[in-house]
Chain A
Amino acid sequence: MPHHPKSLFDAPLDGEFLTRDQAKALADRVLAFAKADETRVNITSGWAGNSRFAGNEITTSGGTTNTAITITSTIGKRRASSETNILDDASLRRTVASAESLARLSPENPELVPELGPQEYATVHGYFDATAGLDPERRAAAVKSAISAAETAGGPGANIFVAGFLQANAGANAVATSRGLFAYHRSSSANLGLTARTPDGTGSGWSNAGARDWSVIDAAALGRVAAQKAAASRNPRAIEPGLYTVVLEPAAVADIMGSLLGTFNARANDEGRGTFSKPGGGTKLGEKIADERVTMYSDPTDPDLLAQPFAGDGTPVTRVTYIEKGILKEFSYDRYWAQKQGKPATGGGGGGFGGGTVKFVGGTRTTAELIASTRRGILVTHFFYIRPLDPRTVMLTGLTRDGTFLIENGKITAAVKNFRWNESPLFMLSKIEEIGRAEPVGAGRVMPTIKATDFNFTSLSDAV
């Protein structure tokens, strides 16, 4: 474990965040102060350590510990919440009183659902000592190894410029209600990303890896890939914007698919303002909305995802299959809408991607094999600054970045200038030529390489 302050408040802690027993004791203390009809306590407790680098040296690094508590009080049909990170009795009493007075002053909410009693949750082990032990010295060593590997891969005298960020988090979330619910989950995550640039300013490459377990991340390999992409992307050619076949690496697929988060919300679709609402009423549930090879789901117990098995209100997060073999299969339901529609609540906030996790099921072939089978296309490393243009179609705009290449007759033949594009991930899912192997792109996210046709590049960007 890293060396960090061990005392966050009066009660001593074993580590940088609350154990199950400590979280339970804190929740019980708060619940004992509560006078509302119902009370919920959410606890977030954790440590974060980071090392940031640029110009091949560490520029800033930090370590923080914090425990914050949110108290949600319900009086009749009125509900409000109040949060603090000051954990002495006086502050907790004050925060309880604040939540209760805000609740009393709030108008009645006709959609209010009562707090939950005890629930059954799946067991998920998402905490790894290798991540929690990523202390300042280990982080500095990892950064040094990534920078050295990039400098070596850049070649002698290349003077490759390296910038990046390494972050580790370890902590726990807990939820308790006055109806007897208590849930606790601890997890960890680590991420190392870096950008290598050539000194002439014409080449830039990026690589990134994230996982709950730091020990699966190879810092030197990331350094090498970023530098190789930087060197290969020098002096990019301008090619005409237009419709191109693309091979999107898993990070690029994650970037664009992230915009589907929220579109699987049952209520917005049922109410006629969702992406999958039909004009005149009804939704597209059960209809084919994508290529039949597309399957996407959230499942906290999936060994590649390992997400928190409960939502903030204590609802168990269940497996939700959004798209199965191209068919729009299931929506996410919050508790109110689930009750109203006679469906089970899914957790995950009602917007899809339960617990923020998602798995896009992959195929068997590698990115290299997808490139080899492409007659003419564009290879994309990742995207930047994606923004919605039209919620009805999930039409987005964004740019390519840090390694965009022309593929001709199965080979990468040139670096090309970055493009702006206007495209919808939903349209793209119907234009799939092949789905490659899937891999983790961050803690709780798995995406494949995708080859799709007619991707709409609309203009050139001079940005490197």
Chain B
Amino acid sequence: MPYTRRDFVKASAAATALVIAAPDFALAAGRAPTRWREPDADELMAVALSAARDAGATYADVRIGRYRSQTIGTRERQITGVSDSESYGMGIRTIVNGAWGFAATSAMTPDGVVKVAREAARLSRAASGVQKRRIELAPTPVVKGTWATPVKRDPLEVPIEDKVALLFAANEAALTVRGIRFVNSGLQLLREIKMYANSEGSQTTQTFIRVGPSFSATAVGAGGFEQYGEELAPRGEGWEYVESLNLPGNAAQWAALAVEKLGARSVEPGRYDLIITPENLWLTIHESIGHPTELDRALGYEANFAGTSFIAPPEAQIGKLRYGRPLMNIQGDRTQVGSLSRCAWDDEGVAADSWRIVDKGIFKDYQTTREQAAQISALTGVTRSHGCSFADSWDSVQFQRMPNISLLPSEQNTSLNDIIAATDRGIVIRNRGSWSIDHQRYNFQFSGQAYYEVRGGKITGMLKDVAYQSTTPVFWNSMDMIGGKDSYYLGGSFGDGKGQPSQSNSVSHGCPPARFRGVNVVNTGRGA
């Protein structure tokens, strides 16, 4: 095992003590969590900050990251891959002459970090020659403390045999289903220790634990093959979450859906009322609400890659854009239990926030970092950063990344069945399939894993080759029914890409099932 628990204990006893303030560290229940500390980390961070100051930086922040990740992949009765990886290093960001620079290294020695601090300052200077606007950071309180994802069982401490046994049991159950030829299942497990310090005096240590299971089955019949992937949400939780999904107990019923798809009827294109389950809708929220409400996109910073936003310029949109009907409320959040973007502080030392992005159908606010907050504070009345700065690794620069963004449930406790019963001619769309949306987040096309025809308030059969295509404002304004809190589900992804060089963000989205009126459905089969 790379870097054992005992190593950490030994090392942290020898290292300079860091202020341990946050009481909720105790939330990491079960065993008393070790202070996942790095030897000499505080000293190295202090050396780097001091070198940056000496090199002319008016502001600097430094992050040390240690990542442990494990992936296990299986097919049928065999392993397709087991790997365990660790990555360790430091990134430092500087402002010199009002311009950003960033450099990172895995050379974790005083010499190594001094060099990298000077390199960051050099990058700042080079950039300042091609700079028009000086970087200004919104004020934020100085913070000190530690936080960890509360888990009952650290997934990286679970024996590998237990993990493989769980996946094999699921595969075996699926293979008992007649028609199933191939099964794939897997686990992706991550533990990240992130230490942060800035030249203003903030200093934090956070430990994030994330788990991501996967399962899909392929049925082969006379007419070809069909695959069904179950939507197993990745979470910021421990091994207990993976166990709660009961893969061995559920795999056969998931696999049966792949077989059922072989006999599904190809959809007739046209307009339908769509009943979208939360296992599909979370991704539509991500793409059509999460991304266009990123302030950096609205200001053009992502123009060359991920794109811009239809919600621009901010002065024409804040408080004015009608995103949907009054039943639509969208919350930005970094505090939700179990969610992937939950933290205590972001990568600028800003405390986690929870705020309304869309209120009763009206667009209210964007996602922001310290650099961005001042640019819209006159419009929103919010002077603080919403704490959306995040880097996916010690060797990546932090920038504005999406927090959890969720559709709040109805106050009536409407269920999925209530929505189906109230629908005369529609299609139920279940789980995530294919997704594509344009670079300003208007035109999108999404599909699912399973589709059911609804006639006269009842499910009448299975459909295939379904995708729904719409335009963001039209689509959300067509939403006329949403489920209540008992139907709420928290989906998410490990792999939200943005930025150049591209970084991957983990983010959750919660929502109830919802109904959308008269949405265009296309047939994605051979005749698409």
Contacts and interface: CB of A to CB of B under 8 A. Distances in A.
B467 A397 contact: yes
B522 A422 contact: yes
Given A64-B104, A195-B303, A50 B130 contact: no
B220 interface: yes
A101 B122 CA distance: 44
Interface residues of B, number: 95
B159 interface: yes
B54 interface: no
B300 interface: yes
Instruction: Specify the main secondary structure of chain A where it touches its partner.
Output: strand
Given A65-B105, A101-B1, A420-B445, A136 B301 contact: no
Contact of B102 (A60, A107, A137): A60
A346 interface: no
Interface string B65-99: 00000000000001101111111110100000001
Interface string B100-117: 111111111101100110
Interface stretch (A174-182, A435-443, A454-462): A454-462
B397 interface: yes
B32 interface: no
A99 B129 CA distance: 48
Interface stretch (A80-88, A284-292, A300-308): A80-88
Contact of B436 (A3, A67, A98, A398): A398
Contacts of B524: 389-390, 395, 397, 422
Interface in B417-459: 434-443, 445, 447
Interface string A153-164: 000000001011
Given A107-B164, A206-B304, A397-B445, A52 B129 contact: no
A94 interface: yes
Given A65-B106, A194-B304, A389-B467, A167 B501 contact: yes
A385 B122 contact: no
Given A55-B300, A140-B130, A83 B83 contact: yes
Given A84-B86, A197-B300, A65 B107 contact: yes
A147 B303 CA distance: 14
A4 interface: yes
Q: How large is the interface on A (under 10, 10 to 19, 20 to 34, 35 or more residues)?
A: 35 or more
Contacts of B442: 461-463
Given A84-B87, A111-B78, A420-B445, 7 more contacts: A5-B112, A54-B300, A54-B301, A58-B99, A85-B106, A387-B435, A395-B525
21 contacts: A5-B116, A8-B105, A55-B301, A62-B101, A62-B102, A65-B105, A80-B83, A86-B2, A94-B1, A106-B79, A106-B82, A109-B78, A140-B129, A195-B303, A195-B304, A273-B182, A385-B439, A390-B465, A398-B436, A399-B438, A422-B445
Q: Sorted from nearest, which 5 A-B pairs have the closest CB atoms?
A: A83-B85, A461-B443, A463-B440, A136-B126, A463-B438
Interface of B: 1-3, 78-79, 81-89, 91, 99-109, 111-112, 115-116, 119-120, 122-123, 125-127, 129-133, 159-161, 164, 168, 181-182, 218, 220, 222-225, 227, 299-305, 307-308, 310, 312, 395-397, 399, 434-443, 445, 447, 465, 467, 469, 471, 500-501, 520, 522, 524-526, 528
